[in-house]
């Protein structure tokens, strides 16, 4: 049966077929330009980011001693061991405490510093530079300097405490204090970043809204919590994601200040210790890295799904 064009149109009940796509030479040309520009970058990302990720997932299924030329396939054995050996509880607990404290500390103090630096005070340009400077310093250098500050025998802090008749706490030897010590250093290093991003948010805030609130009789504290802070929510959201990812991957200062990870065994440090630090269990370490990857993925997804709903865009 041949359905003529006029017959089909004459039924009146059938929708009109979509117009056939015509790929002009221009569109094809643009596609090739896109390909030429994007492909080299995609290849680099694939080779240096996704290939190691896939290879790491493969390694996580092996019982492999680092440096050894042979390995045994154990499937999900490494994951099973991590979650059943008791390591998972302490490592995930330490990771949670460290992450919450460093993200929360950096953001709260960063916001306070940003509010202070947003005032018209003399020397604020210098103060802004000084606040941001620790963020760009090498983590290794920062760790070395703070190690000297915290040293209970010849550290600066110990000297100050002795001056007022107090003994220095065992910052490095006591596992609870060593976690607090690295948290302090990370917050000090990262709060400048949060402060500068918050400062940018404060400076781009619509002044008419603030003036309207002031005219309505809202004092500075009410204005901050009911107007300024909600309007900063896109900035807070951005900082929450970036700081969280950064904290979960924090390594350098922990390694320098607490080389055995006693009290500071976060997920990433445990992955390091298992493969390179002591045990040479490359497969087990790869499994811990995959757990960290999944955790990062889930947390970022949850934030995008739920936290973004609370964000107010001006």
Partner 1 sequence: MSRTLNRRNFFAVTGLGLGTAALAACGGPSTAGTAVTSAGTDWSKVTPAAKITFMSSHPGKSADIEAALIKDFESANPGIKVDLVTGGANYEEVAQKFQTAQAGNNVPDVVVASDVWWFRYAIADTVVPMDDLLKAVGDKTAGFNATLFGDYNYTDKHWAVPYARSTPLFYYNKDHFKAAGLPDRAPTTWDEFATWAPKIQAANASKPGYQHAYQYPALAGYAGWTLQNVLWGQGGGWSKEWDLTANSAPSVKAMTWVQDTIVKDGWAGVSSKDAVSDMTAGAISATVSSTGDLVGTLKAAQTANMNIGVGFLPGGSVSASPVCPTGGAGLVIAAKTSPERQLAAATFVSFMTNAANTAKFSAATGYMPVRTDADMSAVLATTPQIQVALDQLKVTRSQDYGRVFLPGADLEMANAAAKIMNEKADVATTLGALQDKLDGIYNKTVKPKLKS
Residues that bind partner 1 (CB under 8 A): 23, 28, 31, 34-35, 39, 42-43, 46-47, 50-51, 54-55, 58-59, 62, 64-73, 147, 151-154, 162, 170-175, 258-260, 262, 273, 276-281
d(CA 225, CA 204): 17
Q: Which residue has the tokens 């190690």?
A: 147
Please report how close the Cβ of residue 245 comes to partner 1 at its closest, in angstroms: 23
Q: Are 124 and 106 in contact (CB under 8 A)?
A: no
Q: Is 281 helix (H, G, I), strand (E, B) or coil?
A: strand
Task: Give, in order, the Cα–Cα distances in Å from 265 to each of 149, 170, 175, 253.
Answer: 22, 18, 10, 12
Q: Please say which residue, 93 or 230, places its beta carbon nearer to partner 1.
A: 93
Instruction: Provide the minimum distance between the beta carbon of 138 and partner 1 in the complex, in angstroms, as a whole number.
Output: 15
**Cβ 261 to partner 1, closest distance in Å?**
8
Closest separation between CB of residue 14 and partner 1, Å?
Answer: 26
Closer residue to partner 1 (CB): 104 or 169: 169
**Coil vs helix vs strand at 61:** coil
- Report which DSSP code applies to 218: -
Smallest distance, partner 1 to C-beta of residue 248, A: 22
127-150 burial string, b = 16+ CB within 10 Å, else e? ebeebbeebeeebeebbeebbebb
Nearer to partner 1 among residue 178 and residue 190 (C-beta): 178
Rank residues 72 and 203 by Cβ distance to partner 1 and give the closer one. Answer: 72
Q: Tell me the β-bridge partners of 62.
A: 73
Residue 132 has, within 13 A of its CA and on its CB side, a CA count of 15
Please state the closest distance from residue 246 (CB atom) to partner 1, in A: 24
Smaller CB separation from partner 1, 45 or 100: 45
DSSP 278: S
Is the CB of 68 or the CB of 249 nearer to partner 1? 68
Burial code (b: 16+ CB inside 10 Å, e: under 16) for 230-269 equals ebbbebbbebbbebbebbbebeebbbbbbeebebbbbbbb
Q: Which is nearer to partner 1, 175 or 234 (CB)?
A: 175
Strand partners, 281: 65
Least distance CB 190 / partner 1 (angstroms): 25
């Amino acid at each position: 049966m041949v359905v003529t064009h006029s017959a089909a149109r004459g039924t009146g009940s059938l929708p009109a077929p979509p117009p056939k796509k015509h790929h002009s030479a221009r569109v094809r040309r643009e596609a090739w330009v896109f390909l030429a520009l994007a492909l080299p970058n995609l290849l680099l990302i694939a080779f240096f980011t996704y290939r190691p990720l896939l290879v790491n997932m493969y390694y996580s299924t092996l019982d492999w001693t680092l440096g050894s030329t042979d390995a045994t396939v154990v499937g999900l054995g490494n994951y099973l061991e991590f979650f059943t050996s008791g390591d998972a509880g302490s490592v995930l607990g330490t990771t949670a405490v460290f992450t919450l404290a460093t993200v929360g500390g950096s953001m709260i103090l960063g916001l306070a510093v940003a509010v202070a630096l947003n005032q018209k005070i003399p020397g604020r340009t210098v103060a802004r530079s000084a606040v941001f400077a620790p963020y760009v310093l090498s983590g290794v250098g920062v760790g070395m300097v703070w190690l000297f500050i915290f040293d209970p025998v010849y550290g600066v802090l110990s000297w100050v405490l002795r001056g007022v008749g107090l003994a220095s706490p065992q910052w490095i030897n006591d596992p609870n204090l060593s976690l607090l010590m690295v948290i302090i250093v990370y917050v000090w290093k990262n709060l400048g970043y949060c402060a500068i991003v918050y400062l940018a948010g404060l400076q781009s805030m619509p002044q008419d809204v603030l003036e309207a609130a002031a005219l309505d009789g809202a004092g500075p504290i009410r204005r901050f919590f009911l107007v300024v802070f909600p309007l900063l929510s896109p900035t807070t959201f951005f900082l929450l994601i970036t700081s969280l990812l950064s904290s979960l991957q924090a390594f350098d200062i922990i390694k320098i200040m607490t080389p055995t990870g006693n009290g500071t065994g976060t997920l990433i440090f445990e992955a390091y210790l298992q493969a390179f630090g002591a045990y040479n269990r490359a497969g087990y370490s790869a499994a811990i890295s995959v757990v960290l990857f999944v955790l990062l993925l889930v947390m970022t997804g949850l934030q995008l799904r739920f936290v973004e709903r609370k964000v107010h865009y001006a």
